[in-house]
Chains A and B, each alone.
Chain A
Amino acid sequence: MRGSLNITSATADPALLDLPWDQPLDDWSNEYIAALPKGISRHLVRFAHLSGRVVAIKETTEVMAKGEYEMLRTLQRLEVPCVEPVAVVSNRTDPEGDLLAPALVTRHLRFSLPYRALFSQTLRPETATRLVDALAVLLVRLHIIGFFWGDVSLSNTLFRRDAGAFAAYLVDAETGQLYSGGLSNGQRENDLEIARVNIAGELMDLEAGGKVADELDPIRISNGIVDAYRSLWTELTGSESFSSSERWRINERVDRLNALGFDIDELAIRTTDEGSTVRIQPKVVDAGHHQRRLLRLTGLDAEENQARRLLNDLDSYSASYGKSDLDEEMVAHEWQARVFEPVVRAIPVELRGKLEPAEVFHQLLEHRWYLAQNAGHDIPLAEAVTSYINDILRHRRDEATMIDPPTGTFTVPIDVIDDPETEPDADWRLTV
């Protein structure tokens, strides 16, 4: 009954045809399924193996699958961090000829983790705050390009480690819409309110499951997204006025945005009051200031904070070896060959699935700093590398494609579990 199967895909991986599309996703056997942790989802989502990579498969309606596929492709073109759409599979029928739900296939991001997999025992407030901060950056970036998300939550986001912070990726674009004329304040406020309520709900859920540290206050943490969002939004889009004698403030604004990881592609500068006052407002800003500089100098593709960390190390290499006057590209090439690559090569093959190279390098620098603090003197790089590999990296779990027991998720409202007697009725008044 495969004759009429319909696959829309830009990449056209023939291995797609080998997946058992004639069975409901729920019934796929372990031979195909990869056990990965996931967030809370309305539709049935499972992970499967495809050509040596892991893909996420979501059963949904055809209109929604196609809409989300196109939306994710558009977001990718706009360089927004999001999962990669692979295909829409429709016209699925089972051996009896009955129609099965169409499916959206997206590629699992290597080294990306759902928030529920980012802590081992309990979630600490610092980690939760970093997650919320990462989500605020993503939301600002989406709003800048005119994308109204409609379902902002930790569950709809994947996180990659980023030099002590996190980088957030959009996973679920089902409810999203792009507005070419930009978003209204009402739309932005609505997304922010949805985010605040969803994050609080997700943290309260972890709390109910005994998975947050005692001192974590879900409401306070979730309110944090509002502040983080607003201050970044104001910095990126707000206008400021100053006397024309203070023109250095233009450079200062540019530097501040660079430090936040953004470049200004277009800045509106207006003079008023017969030229005595200058008013500036960034018109087009672009995330990835450090990422782009690192890529240009070394060809390395890293997250924003990782890139900042690597560039700092490059700068201090340049300074400590008296190479500040040399051509930047040449010094970068030398740093890469003498510092970065030896570290990456030193990682035993069997440990390479633990973390991304750039994250390893960041952690190594941290480790070296702690060693030096304890020893009271500088630690040679080679010594720090050995110590880091044996004392730290070896004991971490693999995060390239994390295999973990599935988290307690279920779908609303597609599947029906008619088993209301499984739990004794507790007094709900105690918990509401």
Chain B
Amino acid sequence: MASVTFDKATRLYPGGTRPAVDQLDLQVADGEFLVLVGPSGCGKSTSLRMLAGLEEVNEGNIFIGERNVTDVPPKDRDIAMVFQNYALYPHMTVAENMGFALKIAGVGKDERAARVLEAAKLLDLEPYLGRKPKALSGGQRQRVAMGRAIVRQPQVFLMDEPLSNLDAKLRVQTRTQIASLQRRLGVTTVYVTHDQTEALTMGDRIAVLKDGILQQVGTPRDLYESPNNVFVAGFIGSPAMNLFAADVVDGGIRFGTATVPVERQALDSASGKSVTVGVRPEDITVSTTAGEGLQVDVDLVEELGADGYLYGHSTIEGKRTDIVARVDGRIHPNAGEKVYLTPTPGHVHVFDSESGERIIHAAIAH
């Protein structure tokens, strides 16, 4: 097992003007599950492929443990791309399906049997080792495919959107299995996805990329509670954080007719009179009686059982702004009504409206 280090690693495609991955500095600890997440074209898959040896590194270096692998061919890096389209062979037993690649690599028979058995125990496949794949369920077949990667005992697992071709139900099941298996194996894992829910539920830490540039690395909680900038704030969390412009006034920030108290000192570093304010849907108090707060017209309420989400709009600085707030799933305002929203004190994120950077650096107050 080993750590992984990207040291100012850069990938510039021939003819490209902007690097696909720009000076990536990232350390993945030994045994850690790190998720690379971001919208399409952000450089997450390119980063993974650089680590796998599939993409040239134009500048910087990549280390696995202490070893500089920047110029090492893929098969000599001691990594395994999991779910790389593993076929299961119908005439071979589960054990053979898991172990045949070791045979090709010249691993002896006893060692093969030992490794296959160990992997099968981890995957709850021991009772099925003598069976043919056709006698397995879909989930068991999926685990045999994982077994193929595990028996190789690589230093690092790489997974590139492994769940993207599964249906929704199997995706959720497999997500949980991968995460718990990784914890049991303790093998350093780098996992790429575009899905922030997958990132939040699976990763020990998450690295968010955009336009080839690392935006923030942290635990799911770090990213959720103190996003570094407007992009991370809007990308992590579903429904997304409400983000809109607000004026800096005496005593805090103007929120409709209400003033939300924010440390004046912090606001002094804002580059203008206006800032970008972020409030998560669950950090909003909804009132149906006219009073202080931001007046919002309710467009729709989505009931999800215990909770619901209120979707509405308001006019802020002459612009229509959509707002989402969490409400009680049973007792809530209805479409067409007017409501007044105020953020929960201490749960307001403030960003510089020009740079998009977070102004108040402490995690949100409690």
Binding site for B on A (CB under 8 A): 40-42, 60-61, 63-64, 148, 150-151, 153, 155, 174-175, 180-182, 184-187, 189-190, 193-194, 196-198, 200-202, 204-206, 208-209, 219, 222, 408-410, 412-423, 425-429, 431-432
Contact = CB atoms under 8 A, between A and B. Distances in A.
Given A186-B56, A189-B74, A208-B96, 10 more contacts: A61-B164, A151-B84, A174-B85, A190-B74, A201-B89, A412-B88, A416-B138, A417-B137, A429-B95, A432-B113
A408 B14 CA distance: 45
A153 B95 contact: no
A206 B100 CA distance: 13
A253 to B, nearest CB: 26
Nearest to B87: A40
A196 B104 contact: yes
A333 B128 CA distance: 65
A139 to B, nearest CB: 16
A257 to B, nearest CB: 25
B341 interface: no
A412 B93 contact: no
B92 A204 contact: yes
A76 to B, nearest CB: 23
Nearest to B112: A432
B24 interface: no
B118 interface: no
A204 B141 contact: no
Among all A-B residue pairs, the 9 with the closest Cβ atoms: A205-B89, A181-B14, A209-B91, A428-B95, A428-B129, A416-B138, A208-B91, A428-B130, A408-B90
B47 to A, nearest CB: 14
A61 to B, nearest CB: 6
A187 B54 contact: yes
A197 B74 contact: no
A142 to B, nearest CB: 15
A416 B95 contact: no
Contact of A61 (B52, B85, B103, B165): B165
A204 B134 contact: no
16 contacts: A40-B87, A186-B53, A186-B73, A193-B75, A197-B104, A201-B89, A204-B89, A205-B92, A208-B89, A418-B137, A421-B135, A422-B134, A423-B135, A427-B130, A428-B96, A428-B130
B304 to A, nearest CB: 21
Contact of A40 (B74, B90, B98): B90
B66 interface: no
A198 B104 CA distance: 10
B109 interface: yes
B202 interface: no
Interface string B66-87: 0000000111000000001111
A200 B95 contact: no
B137 A420 contact: yes
A59 to B, nearest CB: 11
Contacts of A198: 87
B331 interface: no
B92 A420 contact: no
B116 to A, nearest CB: 5
Nearest to A210: B91
Contacts of A425: 127, 130-131
Contacts of A150: 84-85
Given A185-B73, A197-B101, A428 B85 contact: no
B362 interface: no
A185 to B, nearest CB: 7
A366 B42 CA distance: 58
A413 B138 contact: yes
Contact of A420 (B88, B98, B129, B135): B135
